[in-house]
Amino acid sequence: MELSNKAFIFCYDPYFSPKQMSVEFREVIHGKKYLQPENVMMANDLAVIHQIISKARLKVFACIKENKPANVHKLAHLLHRDYTNVWRDCQVLANCGIIELKEKDNETQPILLYEQIVLDFPSRERNLPGSGVIERV
């Protein structure tokens, strides 16, 4: 399976709000803007990003990438973790669209949809009063 996009991006924007989303959805409806790509997830709270992409889930992602296990049981064995916890982590990654859980011969194989996970912290520009200088924040 060829990966459609190379990276899944968690984009942190502390100014992103439900009100801003509503404005953007209206722009999409009127054809002024496109929806964000499937490989981008926006969040205005770092705790949300951390909850979704925990250290354990990053290890699951890395293990799938490196070993391409035939099923979730083998993945749990490779990670030296309980099957139930690995299964739950795989479900979260699948619900985010980072992996696919493919049913095959009464087994579930985790398949990567991206080569990497990226955390994007966009810089902000602001004018420093009276200086004529634009500072990246």
CATH number for 48? 1.10.10.10
Instruction: Check pLDDT > 80 for residue 131.
Output: no
Q: Is residue 61 part of a domain?
A: yes
Half-sphere exposure of residue 62, counting CA atoms within 13 Å on the CB side? 9
Q: Is residue 92 part of a domain?
A: yes
Model pLDDT, residue 98:
94
pTM of the model: 0.74
The number of distinct structural domains making up the chain is 1
Alpha-carbon distance 14 to 6, whole Å?
25
For residue 113, give the DSSP letter. Answer: S
**DSSP 3-state of 89:** helix
Instruction: Check pLDDT > 70 for residue 28.
Output: no
| Backbone CA torsion sign across 10, 12, 18, 20 | negative
pLDDT band at 72; cut points 50, 70, 90: very high
Alpha-carbon dihedral 24, 41, 9, 5, rounded to 10 degrees: -80
Q: Is residue 1 part of a domain?
A: no
Q: Which residues are bridge partners to 93 per DSSP?
A: none
Instruction: Check pLDDT > 70 for residue 11.
Output: yes
Instruction: Check pLDDT > 70 for residue 125.
Output: no
Query: Domain span at residue 18?
Result: 7-136
Q: Which of these, 9, 33, 8, 7, lies nearest to 21 by C-alpha position? A: 33
- Please calculate the CA angle 56-103-48 and round it to the nearest 5 degrees: 30
Model pLDDT, residue 104:
86
pLDDT band at 135; cut points 50, 70, 90: very low
Helix segments in the chain, DSSP class H: 18-29, 46-52, 55-67, 72-79, 83-95
Q: Is residue 2 part of a domain?
A: no
